[in-house]
Amino acid sequence: MSAEPDVSHTDVWSGVFRGVAFRVVHWGVDERRPNGTWNFYLMLPEAQLPERRLADFSLEPIEAPERWQQHAPYSYMGTAIDSLEWHCGCTHYCKLGGADGTPVRIEMGCDYNHLYDEGQVYHEAYVISDACRCIDSLWEVVPDLLVRDTVYGGFVTPDGLEESKARWRREHQVVEKDKTE
Averages of pLDDT over each 10 residues, the chain, 181 residues: 82 96 93 88 96 91 68 79 94 89 92 86 95 98 92 85 84 70 54
Q: Are 44 and 16 in contact (CB under 8 A)?
A: no
Residues linked to residue 96 through DSSP beta bridges, in sequence order: 105
- State the pTM of this model: 0.84
CA distance 88 to 34: 21
Q: Where are the alpha helices (DSSP H) in 110-171?
A: 124-141, 158-171
CA distance 95 to 115: 28
**CA–CA–CA angle 50, 55, 59 (5° rounding):** 130
Domain ranges in the chain are: 10-145, 146-181
User: Which pLDDT score is estimated for 67?
Assistant: 64
Tell which residue, 173, 149, 157, has the closest CA to residue 50: 157
Q: Are 176 and 162 in contact (CB under 8 A)?
A: no
User: Which pLDDT score is estimated for 77?
Assistant: 81
